[in-house]
Every structure is written in structure tokens, then in C-alpha cells.
Amino acid sequence: MAYYLRERAQDIPAGTGIVNLDCYPAPDLVIEIAKTSLLDDLGTKRSLYEELGVTEYWVVDVQNVQIIAYAIAEQGSKRIQESQVFPGIAILEEALRRSREINQSQVGA
């Protein structure tokens, strides 16, 4: 999943399905859901997003119920505990944990 946030959300025309990165900037946030692809998401895909210049890259580790987040700058990345583009990683991780114990409507509440 790729997201353009705040004022950059207006950069992409409504109804655009696949964003052509030759014409538009890289997204602010990319999220991969990893159940069987964790090593690929943390290695190969992270390198690709570094090259593209994505601002942040998150991997949702389904098996360990955690979000592994990286800030990307200067074609490199650094693991972060708190997002600069979409604060609340800890709350999202807690929601993931709770979703394994109680139903979705209770988690949302």
C-alpha cells in the first residue's frame, strides 16, 4: 500500500490506479504486509524503496504482530520507533495484538 499524505495527496489525480513514478513523486509512506515474505520485505523491497526516495517504509510482521518502520533519506534507511509522516505506530501495533484476542468492532472502539 502506498500513501501520499497532507498536501502531497493532491499531487495524484483522483481515480489514478497505478501511479507512474516517472511523472509523480514517490509516496510518503509505503506499507508491506508480511506473512511469508518478511525477509524479502526487509531486504530487497526496502532497498527498492530507498532508491525511489519513499519517505517512510513500514513492514507489518503478521507472525510476530509488530510493525517494523524505517525512515528513508539519502538512499538509505534507519529503523524508527515513531513515524514522522503518520504518528501512532504503537497504537497500531496494539490494535493488531488486540485483533487476535477480540473481534474487530471491539478493537476499533
pLDDT digits (tens, 9 = 90+) for 33-90: 999 999 999 999 999 999 999 999 999 999 999 999 999 998 899 999 999 998 889 8
Residue-range definition of the domain harbouring residue 33:
2-108
Number of folded domains that form the chain: 1
Rounded CA separation 7/22 (Å) = 20
Contacts with 53 (C-beta within 8 Å, 6 or more apart), sequence order: 25, 26, 72, 75
pLDDT at res. 51: 95
Tell me if 89 sits within 8 A of 69, measured CB to CB. Answer: yes
